Structure 1
Amino acid sequence: MMSTVVPVLFIQCLLSILLTTTLAAPITITRETFRACRPGSWAGIPSDCCPPKVIDGPIVDFRPKYDASKPLRVRKALQCLSGHELQTYLRKLEKGYVLMRALPDSDPRSFKRQNAIHCAYGTGSFLQDGSTNLTIDVHLNWLFLPWHRMFVYFHERILQKLLGDPEFSLHFWNFDNSVTATPRHGSRGCYKAGHFVPPMYNDPSKATFEANRSVRAFDPNRAVDYAYNFNPLLGPPAWPNNTVEEQTRMNREVMHRSMITLANTTNFIGKTYRVGDAQILIPAVGAGTIELVPHNTLHAWIGGWMLQPITAPIDPLFYPFHANMERLWSVWRKLGYGNDDPTDPDWLNATFLFWDENSVMRRVRVRDFLDLNALGYRYEKVNDASWIFFDNSTSPRAP
């Protein structure tokens, strides 16, 4: 009996290893992925946002180039821009979006096509190569943070090209900073609270304005709510009747939990997602801690186009919002606690395609987007202490 069982078990184990080796591979987008694109959906809502199925011209590998002789561009916190600096930024951003919206829909750099590429990557429109039913989604798994960093990066480069200004930086919405602090003598950075929607995105006269948002987002006295939860099947919950002080204290607690208490590498980055894995549809199953909260909750709180991946980048607020999301990823890596990015080659070698500022298709890997210095920019220092030390500090004074 034993002599029969052992070979059978050995064969079963060998087959398991072979199957795992065959299927376990990084998610990879190719020409064939685009060619096989099909209508997708999100939460039962159909979408049809495929990019052109035939990619003209070569696909060029993206390689970040670090020039130590040049200072890094600085993405700044929007709430601290003022005076001439604010007016200059508003003028450039306004011009950039006017030019981007004026591009024909056939141009991959156009505002409409920027939304479409996010839609295709986020609604199961792309199939895993060689599959007829396994789809690709860059949400609710470990691809979320690096893919959105890539998306904002190329969006910024397109704005630079349209403006003729290679030093232009897309500044960020520092929504997680809910305490205005007094910086220590000599400290540089932004220590002003940023928990309201930046006014430049609520001005109807600006190209950064989008009317299709919840009325919450237009209230200049309403702090954002990280705990907001919207179920499209049940309808929105009642608005909490919190004061700004109560809401921002809750927000700091939520940030501390998402960034520190619950945020080991596996929980923070999100669930593994490789070739052969089914698309994850339940946020709590696959999303990392900050994708769940505050990312998903703030998308719901803002509402309108931002409520779903089919349309979210139609709202220009999407970009400074996601710039801050990737900034928080960088902050998490510096917090200690053993925080570090995955070393799994199936994460590092996951590969996507993006059109750059010259309408050239670029092949981009996760490993190429882990070093901000190599990408040529950094983030202004802000008051992350407002939530880092939430549990043991009530002082608004910056460290």
Structure 2
Amino acid sequence: MEAKKLGLVLGISTIVAAFTMVLHLLEAPQVQHALLGEFNFIIPAMLKGASSSGKYQLGVLLPNLTSCHESMGRSDLPVYCCPPMNQSDVAFIDFQFPDPSLPLRVRRPTHLLDENYIAKYKKAITIMKSLPDTDPRSYSRQANLHCLFCTGAYYQQHSNSPLNIHRSWLFFPWHRMLIYFHERILGGLIGDDTFALPFWPWDIPEGMVIPEMYMKAPFFHEARDISHFPPSVVDLDYSCTASSSDDYGCFESGLGPEDQVYTNLVMMYNQMVAGAKKMELFMGCPYKAGEGGSCNGPGTLELAPHNTVHKWVGSNLNPGSRGRDMGVFYSAARDPIFLSAPCQYRPSLGSLDEAPWEQGYQ
């Protein structure tokens, strides 16, 4: 039984590796959206649905791509982020194994980027922002992917249950899928197979301010809290009231830079180690297909620093903004800094051998 499970996991890993070949399909960009919509949910469901007989059971968690509808950006705000064409009409493309001779892509921390890399990223995102909304690679369509799957804009297949990828164990794999495809699109737009997104290392002292790159065009975004611009140190335990609350507001820690850095390191150790001793505490609750399969149990890292960094960056100065753009699901991906934050999750996993006050982070 264990050998079969291991074989399944290895098989799925191979499929994920084969995604590199999607780069060669960018001449038909509508394929990207359809592939993303289906594959985002199939890995957890395959692991769940594998029986001892080696056959897959029903209950795979998939979106009904014909069901896109108006959804709720927050409890008092309806939004419509559906693509302009019916995604069920888009042909699916079988995956192929990647070319093993392609160079390894390396994601680097934002504070160590050189001018050549920044120029390359500027070119890619400028091209993406120039694409029309009818192109799934366009900046607006890419941003709307987060809106689609985070506000329940799709129902599940064979069900009236909406799909939501936050507050469960889908949080990690879905966002990594989003990063992968976004990264490949950017690389395709500039003809560079080696392009990799940077990550914002907010879990180390030298990375605990908004990266300088994101304070300049085309990475700057107006809907941010200007009181948190550099040199302000990020508060990884930042808290706000519900975005739909009449008395919406957020609460500053009042700590000086050194104390805030120390508090952040202690908080990271708790979220990654001390407070996450079980799989579901860290990953989130199991989300399964069907009417009774949803759950509401976010993992430690999703609660903080993921949610807290989003709220800290989002605007709190305009009473009507209520954390927009980064601080709310439907608009978070409109800010170019959005994808540098989840890129950080993977490096964080390998940085906690000792307590932060003893050694720090590598």
TM-score, normalized by the shorter chain, greater than 0.5:
yes
Residue among 243, 253, 256 paired with 2:256: 243
Return the alpha-carbon distance in structure 1 between the equivalents of residues 253 and 221 of structure 2. 24
- Structure 1 SS opposite 2:106: strand
Instruction: Identify, as 1 or 2, the structure richer in strand.
Output: 1
Asked if the contact 2:167/2:299 (under 8 Å) is kept, the reply is: yes
The residue correspondences of 1:177-196 to structure 2 (distance < 5 A) are: 177-178=204-205, 193-196=206-209
- Provide closer, same or farther for how the CA distance between residues 249 and 138 of structure 1 changes in structure 2, counting only shifts above 3 A: same
Return the alpha-carbon distance in structure 2 between the equivalents of residues 95 and 80 of structure 1. 19
Give 1:64 deviation, angstroms: 6.0
Residue among 258, 269, 273 paired with 2:287: 273
Partner of residue 65, structure 1? 98
Higher relative contact order (CA 8 A, sep 6+): 1
- Provide closer, same or farther for how the CA distance between residues 266 and 152 of structure 1 changes in structure 2, counting only shifts above 3 A: same
C-alpha distance after superposition, 1:255-308 (max 9, x if no partner)? 101111122211111111111256868xxx411110011001111111131011
Give 1:55 deviation, angstroms: 3.9
Give 1:71 deviation, angstroms: 4.4
Of 268-277 and 147-156, more deviation after overlay is shown by 268-277
Partner of residue 194, structure 2? 167
Please give the TM-score of this superposition, normalised by the length of structure 2.
0.75
Asked if the contact 1:145/1:326 (under 8 Å) is kept, the reply is: no
Return the alpha-carbon distance in structure 2 between the equivalents of residues 122 and 43 of structure 1. 11
1:42 equivalenced with 2:76 (yes/no): no
- Structure 2 SS opposite 1:225: coil
1:289 equivalenced with 2:300 (yes/no): yes
Partner of residue 153, structure 2? 125
Return the alpha-carbon distance in structure 2 between the equivalents of residues 261 and 278 of structure 1. 31
- Structure 2 SS opposite 1:128: coil
Partner of residue 232, structure 2? 222
- Provide closer, same or farther for how the CA distance between residues 95 and 27 of structure 1 changes in structure 2, counting only shifts above 3 A: same
Asked if the contact 2:239/2:251 (under 8 Å) is kept, the reply is: no
C-alpha distance after superposition, 1:213-269 (max 9, x if no partner)? 012332x12111111111221422332211111111111111101111122211111
Return the alpha-carbon distance in structure 2 between the equivalents of residues 299 and 278 of structure 1. 30
- Provide closer, same or farther for how the CA distance between residues 116 and 104 of structure 1 changes in structure 2, counting only shifts above 3 A: same
C-alpha distance after superposition, 1:59-98 (max 9, x if no partner)? 124466372x5542111111122xxxx1111111111111
- Provide closer, same or farther for how the CA distance between residues 138 and 238 of structure 1 changes in structure 2, counting only shifts above 3 A: closer
- Provide closer, same or farther for how the CA distance between residues 309 and 36 of structure 1 changes in structure 2, counting only shifts above 3 A: same
- Provide closer, same or farther for how the CA distance between residues 98 and 141 of structure 1 changes in structure 2, counting only shifts above 3 A: same
Asked if the contact 1:135/1:278 (under 8 Å) is kept, the reply is: no
Return the alpha-carbon distance in structure 1 between the equivalents of residues 182 and 224 of structure 2. 22
Question: Which AA in structure 1 matches 2:98?
Answer: K
C-alpha distance after superposition, 1:112-147 (max 9, x if no partner)? 000112111110111111223x11001111111000
Give 1:53 deviation, angstroms: 2.0
Question: Which AA in structure 1 matches 2:127?
Answer: L
The residue correspondences of 1:313-392 to structure 2 (distance < 5 A) are: 313-328=333-348, 331=349, 384=351, 388-390=353-355
Asked if the contact 2:71/2:78 (under 8 Å) is kept, the reply is: yes
Asked if the contact 1:140/1:280 (under 8 Å) is kept, the reply is: no
Partner of residue 75, structure 1? 107
Asked if the contact 1:196/1:222 (under 8 Å) is kept, the reply is: yes
- Structure 2 SS opposite 1:75: coil
Q: CA RMSD in A?
A: 2.3
Asked if the contact 2:240/2:251 (under 8 Å) is kept, the reply is: no
The residue correspondences of 1:134-213 to structure 2 (distance < 5 A) are: 134-178=161-205, 193-203=206-216, 206-213=217-224
Return the alpha-carbon distance in structure 1 between the equivalents of residues 359 and 289 of structure 2. 48
Return the alpha-carbon distance in structure 1 between the equivalents of residues 163 and 257 of structure 2. 40
Give 1:43 deviation, angstroms: 2.7
How many aligned positions are there?
292
Of 117-126 and 42-51, more deviation after overlay is shown by 42-51
Give 1:171 deviation, angstroms: 1.1
1:252 equivalenced with 2:265 (yes/no): yes
- Provide closer, same or farther for how the CA distance between residues 116 and 245 of structure 1 changes in structure 2, counting only shifts above 3 A: same
Give 1:326 deviation, angstroms: 3.9
Give 1:168 deviation, angstroms: 1.1
Partner of residue 134, structure 2? 106
Return the alpha-carbon distance in structure 1 between the equivalents of residues 151 and 97 of structure 2. 28
- Structure 2 SS opposite 1:41: strand
Return the alpha-carbon distance in structure 2 between the equivalents of residues 277 and 256 of structure 1. 36
Question: Which AA in structure 2 matches 1:79?
Answer: H
- Provide closer, same or farther for how the CA distance between residues 208 and 279 of structure 1 changes in structure 2, counting only shifts above 3 A: farther
Return the alpha-carbon distance in structure 1 between the equivalents of residues 125 and 132 of structure 2. 13
- Structure 1 SS opposite 2:148: helix
C-alpha distance after superposition, 1:313-347 (max 9, x if no partner)? 1000001111112443xx2xx5xxxxxxxxxxxxx
Larger Cα-atom Rg: 1
Asked if the contact 2:326/2:338 (under 8 Å) is kept, the reply is: yes
